[in-house]
Structure 1
Amino acid sequence: MGIVFAPLGLVLVFTAAITPQWREGQARLGMTGPGSLLRSGAKGHGMGVRSGSAETLLLLRSDGLWESCLQVEHSELKQCWPVAGPYQRDPRVRLAQGLVLTSLFLCGTGIVLACIGVRCWTDLPLRGVAATGGLLVVMAGLLSLTALGVYTHNLRRLGMVDPSQGINNHRFPHLSLRPAGSLYFGWLGSCLQVLGGSALLFSFKRPKCPTCPSCPELPVCPACRSCPEITNKPDTDVYEVTC
């Protein structure tokens, strides 16, 4: 369970980190007047409208931790750019970036330690190494959950100069923001990391080994050939049956 869930959680959190769909919103922008910039741009792409008509465009905006995108609905007009401005300088966005990067590093290190500790090619695992890897994976999941929680709680206020006014002013239309798909990938991956790390942390118990008759206080494992009374015992037992 731990060996499967931990890498799967790492892939999901990494996918969430590099995609720009942490939050998204829609805005309707009117194309009125013959000198409208959007009108002339739409004509340049074969989307011209009749003079004097009041047409609107639906703009789709999405933001991630490192990239933002803007697209016109039902068209191929889409542009992405690295995050900048107040959104990039927002301390909550910077905190989420640092937590996610730390989470990815810890989870990768934990998976490596878990693979070394489990040692599927041998009979006896390295329990301490596997448990350490599980602990790192659990910590990675908790860090990514913290980053997702901070971002989701402040989703509509991130990068806003004046939170009471949002981003509405005389230049931009109203943009309603909501959680997007990358957040759900992150939540699922973080939960899988916690579950997988917990499985690695608590599933390896010390095996119960027989004791040596000569030294009862000394446990003897099957891999250790230190007790002649046990190692020299024949593999077959003889039973006397009477009728």
Structure 2
Amino acid sequence: MGIVFAPLGLVLVFTAAITPQWREGQARLAMAGPGPPPRSGLKGQGPGIRPGSVEALLLLRSDGLWESCLQVAQSELKQCWPVAGSYQRDPRVRLAQGLVLTSLFLCGTGIVLACIGVRCWSDLPLRGVAATGGLFVVLAGLLSLSALGVYTHNLGRLGMEHPGQPINNPKFPHLSLRPAGSLYFGWLGSCIQVLGGSALLLSFKRPRCPSCPSCPELPACPMCCSCPEINNRPETEVYEVSC
């Protein structure tokens, strides 16, 4: 379970880190569109109305840890750029970046230690090394969970130097921000990391040999000890098992 869950969690957290969908918002931008010339109003009324003279353009804005994107809905017009400005300088964004990078490094190190400790090509595993790898994976999951918690809690205020200020150019309308898909990938991957690391950390216990009935304080293994009450039992069979 640990060997499978730890790499899976690493892949999910890495996917969340490099994608720019940590938060997203929509805004409608009014644009003047083509239409017939205005008709003069009736006598005593105001000027005529030009039908179809205003079109609403739906803009989709998304931000990640290292990249932001702007896309026009229902079209292929999309532009992405590295995070900049007040959003990049926000200490909470920098904290999330540092926690995620540290989490990825610890999880990768833990997976390497776990593979060395499990040693499927050998009869006996290195339990201490495997447990240390599991501890690193658990710490990685907790760090990524902390980064996600900080970002989610301050999602609507990141990059705003003053409360209520738009997140980008003042000419743009206010965007209603909400969590996006990358956050869910990160939450899932972090939880999987904690589960996989806990499995590695807790499952490697030193095996206990059966005790000799005559000397209960001394461990007695049928393969390596000379306890007559164990070795002389006719129903005792010893099998050699190799990985």
TM-score range, shorter-chain basis? Answer: 0.7 to 0.9
Match of 1:131, SS state, is helix
Name the CA distance, whole Å, in 1 between partners of 2:169 and 2:85: 16
Match of 1:81, SS state, is strand
2:41 is matched with which residue? none
Shift of 1:219: 4.6
2:3 is matched with which residue? 3
1:200 is matched with which residue? 200
RMSD between aligned residues: 2.7
What does residue range 82-231 of structure 1 map to in structure 2 within 5 Å?
82-167=82-167, 170-210=170-210, 219=219, 227=225
Shift of 1:183: 0.1
TM-score by length of 1: 0.81
Name the CA distance, whole Å, in 1 between partners of 2:113 and 2:83: 35
Q: Is the 2:220–2:226 Cα contact (8 Å) retained in structure 1?
A: no
Q: Is the 1:157–1:166 Cα contact (8 Å) retained in structure 2?
A: no
Shift of 1:160: 0.8
Count of residue pairs the alignment pairs up: 220
Name the CA distance, whole Å, in 2 between partners of 1:136 and 1:150: 21
Percent of pairs with identical residues = 83
Name the CA distance, whole Å, in 2 between partners of 1:203 and 1:21: 36
Match of 2:132, SS state, is helix
Note the alpha carbon deviations across 1:4-46, whole angstroms, 9 max, x for none: 11111000000000000000000100113xxxxxxxxxxxxxx
Deviating runs (4+, > 4 A) in structure 1?
Answer: 210-222, 227-230, 233-238
The residue type paired with residue 137 of structure 2 is: V
Query: Please, which runs of 5 or more residues in structure 2 have no aligned partner?
Result: 37-49, 237-243
Change (3 A) 1:148 1:221: farther
Query: Please, which runs of 5 or more residues in structure 1 have no aligned partner?
Result: 33-47, 239-243
Change (3 A) 1:96 1:50: same
Change (3 A) 1:221 1:183: farther
1:24 is matched with which residue? 24
Bigger mean CA offset, 52-61 vs 10-19: 52-61
The residue type paired with residue 87 of structure 1 is: Y
The residue type paired with residue 64 of structure 2 is: G
The residue type paired with residue 130 of structure 1 is: A
Shift of 1:212: 8.1
Shift of 1:205: 1.2
Bigger mean CA offset, 11-20 vs 122-131: 122-131
Change (3 A) 1:116 1:235: farther
Shift of 1:213: 10
1:41 is matched with which residue? none
1:40 is matched with which residue? none
Q: Is the 1:22–1:180 Cα contact (8 Å) retained in structure 2?
A: yes
Name the CA distance, whole Å, in 2 between partners of 1:212 and 1:235: 12
TM-score by length of 2: 0.81
1:63 is matched with which residue? 63
